[in-house]
Amino acid sequence: MTRRVPARQEALCTFGALPPAKGSRAPFAESWWGRAWLRALEESSLDSGRLQRGRTYARGGAVGQVTVAPGKAAAPVQGSRRTPYRSTVQVEQLTDRQWDRLLDVIADRAANIAALLDGEMPTGLADDAAAAGVALLPGPGDLAPECSCPDWGYPCKHAAALCYQVARLLDRDPFVLLLLRGRGEQELTDELGRRNLVRAAADALAVPVGAGAGAVVPPPPAGDPAGSAFSSRSGLPPLPAAPPLPPQAGRGPALAESAVPEPGVDPTALELLAADTALRARHLLAAALDAPRHAGTAPPAPLTEWQDAVRLAATHPTMEVFARIAANCGRTPNELAAATRAWRYGGAASLDVLENTWNPPAGRLERDREALRTDWPDGVPPRLRTWRNRWTVEGRDAQLRLSREGLWYPYTKDRGTWWPAGPPDTDPAVVLAAVLGR
């Protein structure tokens, strides 16, 4: 199958014809969203015989190149005459308001984005979208097949063959369904990246729970040896009169738009590194301008390659950066999504809580259990199951994890995976109440 040929920034995608599979009894759709598409077709059909012939046409290679555009899929379908018929199937597009709700639903769970990048439609996404008033999957009567043939059947065998072929495409790429609903993959990933960037910026400006009034959020870990040079005051000349702190870091040159890039240079990656350098330089300048507060601060430990990759994905949350880092690190989109969320709640220490377990000192957990009983409103907190540094709430998809620095982090389970659910606190009662929504 030919992968999509973008036109007008992926508002139009073309898929090559699938090879014939005569005699095959394999289902046309194996994914749950592909099967939902076929149910919408089959429950709307007025003639099961035409559907059967449509399946035979599709298996026999009668469907040519399929073009998918917002609200419509079309393909030539070879019938009994020499010239193929032109068959189409139309689907109602979502309104701008519905898209806004759907994008909020997708962006609200890191697992949704990770699954889509991995070629999967999250099982709960349709339900979450429906709860937000958006019908993502077509239902009976939502598909409008048409054909240039003289057959008045609904649908005719040629249009039915196209619909079965579209089900195969949906199996391979859930973005086909989203394009049929009105928006292409590039447009969606750009918008999801923008929303993630806004959320990341809001998280970066938020004061952690328990920090107290007037607290200042420390800059993210620098992750390079320059930190040790900065913290060492010996042999360094006095700083000149400090300029005002820029409101934000610059983006750097737009190298990706250069007509003739240098051999061996990846312009997009170089742009990212330039932007990241500017952002870290601003953090260092902010610390230098407030030297008295940072005088006793030890430099952060050097980051591992994986930690720095997570930092980059969390600091520059575009879909392209996310996908490339996941591929280059050999991690699944789900693993990187959980790691970046953890990083935003506490940097390398929070990432360690996500990925590693440890045995707290004797008596530490018992003291925190006693504090939890004392602070809980009725003195009877939920039952907790202990394993190493983790407390799991019995009967709930909720968990608390203790960091090596003495902070409790909230976690929730979503579709079998534990996800960081918020900022940490030294008081387990505060974190437990937050994760249980009390």
Q: How far apart are CA 82 and CA 7, in angstroms?
A: 30
Positive or negative torsion for Cα 369, 373, 374, 375: positive
What is the pLDDT, as a whole number, of residue 307? 93
Tell me if 198 is assigned to some domain.
no
Are 27 and 90 in a shared domain? yes
Query: For the range 324-331, what are the long-range contacts, defined as Cβ-Cβ under 8 Å and sequence gap of 24 or more?
Result: 324/269, 326/117
Are 326 and 344 in a shared domain? yes
Q: Give residue 335's domain range.
A: 267-290+303-356
Strands 390-393 and 398-402: what pairing?
Answer: antiparallel
Are 420 and 318 in a shared domain? no
Q: How far apart are CA 93 and CA 142, in angstroms?
A: 11
Q: Which residues make Cβ contacts (< 8 Å) with residue 263, sequence separation at least 6?
A: none
Residue 323: strand, helix, or coil:
helix
Name which of 276, 299, 285, 402 is nearest 349 in CA terms: 402
Tell me if 236 is assigned to some domain.
no
Structure tokens at 166: 């579209």
Positive or negative torsion for Cα 349, 354, 356, 362: positive
User: Which of 356, 374, 391 is the last residue before a domain boundary?
Assistant: 356
Name which of 291, 275, 280 is nearest 226 in CA terms: 280
Helices 333-355, 110-117: crossing angle, 10 deg rounding: 140
Helices 319-329, 110-117: crossing angle, 10 deg rounding: 70
Residues 324-329 have a mean pLDDT of: 86
pLDDT at 202 over 80: no
User: Which of 134, 162, 191 is the last residue before a domain boundary?
Assistant: 191
Q: How far apart are CA 8 and CA 179, in angstroms?
A: 13
Are 143 and 271 in a shared domain? no
- Give 88's Cβ-side CA count (13 Å radius): 11
Residues 367-392 have a mean pLDDT of: 90
| Reported confidence tier of residue 349, pLDDT bands at 50, 70, 90 | very high
Structure tokens at 249: 């870091």
What is the pLDDT, as a whole number, of residue 117? 73
Q: How far apart are CA 203 and CA 209, in angstroms?
A: 12
Residues 184-198 have a mean pLDDT of: 80
Are 349 and 415 in a shared domain? no
User: Which of 170, 191, 212 is the last residue before a domain boundary?
Assistant: 191
Are 183 and 325 in a shared domain? no
Strands (E), 143-266: 143-147
Are 149 and 26 in a shared domain? yes
Tell me if 235 is assigned to some domain.
no
Are 173 and 98 in a shared domain? yes
Using a 10 angstrom Cβ sphere, with 0-12 exposed, 13-18 middle and 19 or more buried, the burial of residue 163 is: buried
Q: How far apart are CA 52 and CA 156, in angstroms?
A: 11
Q: How far is CA 274 from CA 94, 254, 258, 266, 312, in A?
A: 38, 10, 15, 12, 12
Strands (E), 327-432: 384-387, 390-393, 398-402, 408-414, 417-420
Positive or negative torsion for Cα 104, 108, 113, 119: negative
Tell me if 426 is assigned to some domain.
yes
Q: What is the CA radius of gyration of the chain?
A: 27
Are 30 and 120 in a shared domain? yes
pLDDT in tens, 5-48: 333 344 688 898 887 765 566 777 888 889 999 999 988 887 78
Lowest mean pLDDT among 166-180, 227-241, 371-385: 227-241
Tell me if 261 is assigned to some domain.
no
Are 376 and 347 in a shared domain? no
Name which of 167, 160, 101, 115 is nearest 334 in CA terms: 115
Name which of 326, 328, 330, 358 is nearest 340 in CA terms: 326
Structure tokens at 271: 């742009």
Tell me if 255 is assigned to some domain.
no
Are 134 and 170 in a shared domain? yes
What is the pLDDT, as a whole number, of residue 358? 95
Q: How far apart are CA 366 and CA 383, in angstroms?
A: 14
Are 319 and 371 in a shared domain? no
Tell me if 155 is assigned to some domain.
yes
pLDDT at 124 over 70: yes
pTM of the model: 0.55
pLDDT in tens, 46-61: 778 889 889 889 988 8
Using a 10 angstrom Cβ sphere, with 0-12 exposed, 13-18 middle and 19 or more buried, the burial of residue 400 is: buried
The total domain count for the chain is 3
Lowest mean pLDDT among 162-171, 289-298, 407-416: 289-298
Q: How far apart are CA 417 and CA 402, in angstroms?
A: 18
| Reported confidence tier of residue 264, pLDDT bands at 50, 70, 90 | low
Tell me if 410 is assigned to some domain.
yes
